Amino acid sequence: MKRTMKITQNNKYTVPDITADAAPDRKSARRRAAKAVVCFMISAAIAFAACGLLYKYDNKYTGSDARAVNGVIFPDESRLNAGSVIWLIYEWEFFPGASADDLSGYRVYADIGGEDRMSHGNGVYRMTLMLPEHRESYAIELQEIFSASRVYINNELKAQTGDPSPDRYKARTGVKTVNFEASGMTEIMIETADHSWIYSGMTYAPAFGRSDAVSAMHDRQLVIRTALFILAFAGSCLSVVFCAGAGRRNRSRNISYIAVFASVCAASGCILMHMLCETAIQPWYTAEVASYYTLMLFVAALCCDFCGTGIQLKAVLTAPCVIGAAAAVITCAAASSVPEQAMMAFSCYSGALKIYCAVLITGTAVRSLYVKREHAMATICIAAVFSACLLSDRLHPLYEPVYTCWFEVLGGLFAAGLLAAAMWRDAVKAYRLKNVYEETSFYMKQRFKMQKEQYRRLRESVKVSRRVFHDMRHHVRTLREMAENGQLESIKAYLDVYEPRLEAARVPVWSENQAADAVINYYEAAAQKVKADYDAVFAVPPDIDISDDEMCVILGNLLENAVNAVSKEPEGKRVIKLRGRFTDGRLLILVENSYTGTPDVRNGVYMSSSHEGPGIGIGSVRVIAHKYGGLSDFTSGDGVFRAEIMIPAHTVNNKNIS
């Protein structure tokens, strides 16, 4: 911020007076804050709307209007004929502790995904379907029954995952589709057993419909979830590449960034794996649940990094997330022996943790904006979307996606994608800075060579001048004697020999601008090496308000291109002409060189003849001319390439040279 200085009469120290600039700074801060608030609200609104749409249209609980009554359901034949899938959610007959061979004992009517989940042990679910009288091919898709199951259709065993028998219990689960032919009253019975997981039995609602409809739904699920996994996996690979390129800088942020992508990849990968094959409960489901909590942990850690939180404060803020991730791993890994009260406590802590994470990342995003941190707007968007997804999980507890994933996984995928975009922008910016640095370094080296050549010439001139001054008295004495003797012809002959020596010792001065002279002298030597005629007239004052660096870039690029071009021409036809003058507040530069080829011009851009892509030199000249509101024109024809530059400029003394 620019500060003015105010000196008081009684104080020898200067006191900065910032009142003049405080108002603009506050106004800028208000604009920035308003922009962030709008960005946060829009991002959160879009995220809430997207979650609401998913809840409405990609949810088994809102997509099913078929309800069983006392374990009996009458599927709508028109819906089945239209290829719809019916979700069997409500009022299953449930026999706790029973087996398929013995349904004695009490029964209850349970909703899938409701509060009446089966505790550890055995149980049987039964539902009767009243199908059309004509025989058709049907299918039922069962998703991840914990932790072993058998499926019976009209008391006939159709499928088995693991082994639910008490004496031969083997925990296995996954997505399984059972096809069968039936008509009229059809009974579906599912025997389950669990001694391995934190929740048991049929946790996810089965899908029922015609075989082709269920198969088509399964294929769509597979395609969409495969695409989500590929995105997450590709992001994980790119994150490793980005962070490896960043080196040790921001190591904590890089680890968190990789972990976010890895968590999303693990969560989506586990969902996909369960669709493709049967798996044991341990360690796969423990890893899947742990990925959700590590995702929350590392998104919170990333937001803390972005807002510049210290290590100690960051550890305190993310401690609940660490506890949640550790509790998830311990509870899931020891699910067979964890008491039900502990599982309920973990469930309550999980819900509170999601609300805490939403508040934490929102707060850190606000702070990153307040302290003007890098990626503040990206942090705001990440906080808005991920917080909205976490809160939507609390607002819509009865959400079971049909095709996509859980809200927090989708929010994590969006957050990781936004982080990837931010890091990609940084990489592009770094690449551009690298190019600028290389170009600047090249011109600095060129300028150093020019100055070195200019210094060499000046040094030679000084040596010659000293020798000439030392020998001057002898020459004067000789000329005086010749003059006294009236030997005019001898004097002329003597001067004819002496004058070329003086001319050879002279360093050419093309203008009053030393930077321009250094460039012109350097390329005069370069032109002599390629045996080109070099004709230069450059009348420019020293106090022109174009910097020496920019003057060197303009002349250096134009003359370098000219020397390179004429070196490819036949000897005797190599000509370079430079004209420059300052008049009427304008710097006019003309460079012409012999050229018999045809330049490669694409969409008005001259392509380089020495490397792939556009010519850097001409581009640099155009940028400088545009910076000052000037014009640049490059044309070729009649064996000549012509570059004309006009730049508005001023001098301290308003002096024109023409």
Q: Can you give the pLDDT at residue 609?
A: 62
Q: Can you give the pLDDT at residue 639?
A: 86
Runs of H (alpha helix) within 307-406: 311-333, 340-370, 376-395
Ramachandran angles phi, psi of 652, nearest 5°: -65, -40
Which pTM does this prediction carry? 0.64
**Is 332 a residue whose pLDDT tops 70?**
yes
311-333 helix and 340-370 helix, angle to the nearest 10 degrees: 150
Amino acid identity, position 189: M
Highest mean pLDDT among 103-117, 440-454, 526-540: 526-540
Q: How far is CA 509 from CA 1, 129, 185, 419, in A?
A: 44, 103, 108, 57
Q: Can you give the pLDDT at residue 239?
A: 74
Judge whether 440 and 258 are in contact, CB under 8 Å: no
| pLDDT mean over 120-143 | 91
The pLDDT confidence band at residue 17, using thresholds 50, 70 and 90, is very low
- Bridge-based pairing of strands 148-153 and 533-539 is unpaired
Q: Can you give the pLDDT at residue 368?
A: 74
Please give the structure tokens belonging to residue 606: 């001259």
Highest mean pLDDT among 141-155, 505-519, 601-615: 141-155
Distance CA 586, CA 578 (A): 17
Q: Can you give the pLDDT at residue 238?
A: 77
**Is 611 a residue whose pLDDT tops 60?**
no
pLDDT digits (tens, 9 = 90+) for 536-567: 888 888 778 888 778 888 888 888 889 888 88
Q: Can you give the pLDDT at residue 545?
A: 80
The pLDDT confidence band at residue 460, using thresholds 50, 70 and 90, is low
Please, what is the Cα angle at 461 between 454 and 479, to 5 degrees?
155
pLDDT digits (tens, 9 = 90+) for 409-439: 888 888 877 777 777 777 677 667 776 666 6
Highest mean pLDDT among 5-14, 17-26, 178-187, 275-284: 178-187
Q: Can you give the pLDDT at residue 212?
A: 93
Judge whether 635 and 592 are in contact, CB under 8 Å: no
Q: Which range among 130-144, 412-426, 450-464, 604-618 shows the weakest confidence by mean pLDDT? A: 450-464
